[in-house]
């Protein structure tokens, strides 16, 4: 199961169908697109400030590696680690940007895919969540058997005697 956050305009009230038109669902977790395409992933999603920060950080990393005259293998490892960090934090930066733009997170939903997450979160927001099915039948629980005290083993005081 994946976790998604639902972002709606700050002025939206629960049950507002118009707010759903501007809803954004953001998956929590690693972003392969951001890992492979770094700042381009941010620009495609119109996350300009976060994309510029990532671009500046990648450029600073390249300059630093050249100034320190780092070899090709360690430079590649540094690039790979920075790309991994970008992949880990990309969706968090997306949530941050949405909150900055006036679309704070209003709900968290767990679902197998984006379509199921949309269905669950929109139904909850609109108040049309399907009613839960009938409660499962309860099996009868047997009464606890009366246990006879057993002698205590070890350095513990003797068990109380039963009358």
Place of tokens 């005290």: 149
Would you place residue 127 in the very low, low, confident or very high pLDDT band (cuts 50, 70, 90)? Answer: confident
Burial 34-64 (b: 16+ CB within 10 A, else e): bbebbbebbbebebeebbeebeeebeeeeee
pLDDT of residue 18: 84
At residue 148, does pLDDT exceed 90?
A: no
What's the token pair of residue 145? 């058997």
Q: Is residue 53 part of a domain?
A: yes
Return the number of other C-beta atoms located less than 10 Å from residue 117's C-beta: 24
CA–CA separation, 58 vs 132, rounded Å? 50
At residue 108, does pLDDT exceed 90? yes
Both tokens assigned to 49: 């400030």
The verdict on residue 146 lying in a domain is no
pLDDT above 70: percentage of residues in the chain: 79
Residue 57, in any domain of the structure = yes
Q: Is the pLDDT of residue 153 over 70?
A: no
pLDDT at 145 over 70: no
Number of domains in the chain: 1
Per-residue pLDDT, averaged over 10-36, amounts to 90
**Distance in angstroms (rounded) separating the CA atoms of residues 65 and 31:** 25
Q: Is residue 110 domain-resident?
A: yes
Average predicted confidence (pLDDT) for the chain:
85
Q: What is the mean pLDDT of residues 112-117?
A: 93
The answer to whether the beta carbons of residues 141 and 44 sit under 8 Å apart is no
- Which residues constitute the domain of residue 69? 2-126
Q: What is the mean pLDDT of residues 131-148?
A: 56
Q: Can you read off the two tokens belonging to residue 3?
A: 């976790």
Q: Is residue 144 part of a domain?
A: no
């Amino acid at each position: 199961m994946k976790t998604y956050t639902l972002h709606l305009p700050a002025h939206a009230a629960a049950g507002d169908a118009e707010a759903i038109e501007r809803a954004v669902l953001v998956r929590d977790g690693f972003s392969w697109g951001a890992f492979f395409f770094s700042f381009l992933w941010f620009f495609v999603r119109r996350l300009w400030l976060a994309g510029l920060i990532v671009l500046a950080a990648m450029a600073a990393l390249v300059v630093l590696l050249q100034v320190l005259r780092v070899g090709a293998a360690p430079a590649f490892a540094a690039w790979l680690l920075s790309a991994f960090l970008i992949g880990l934090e990309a969706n968090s930066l997306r949530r941050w940007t949405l909150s900055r733009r006036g679309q704070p997170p209003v709900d968290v939903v767990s679902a197998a895919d984006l379509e199921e997450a949309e269905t669950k979160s929109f139904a909850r927001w609109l108040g049309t969540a399907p009613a839960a099915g009938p409660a499962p039948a309860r099996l009868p629980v047997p009464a606890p058997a009366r246990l006879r005290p057993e002698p205590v083993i070890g350095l513990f005081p003797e068990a109380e005697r039963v009358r």
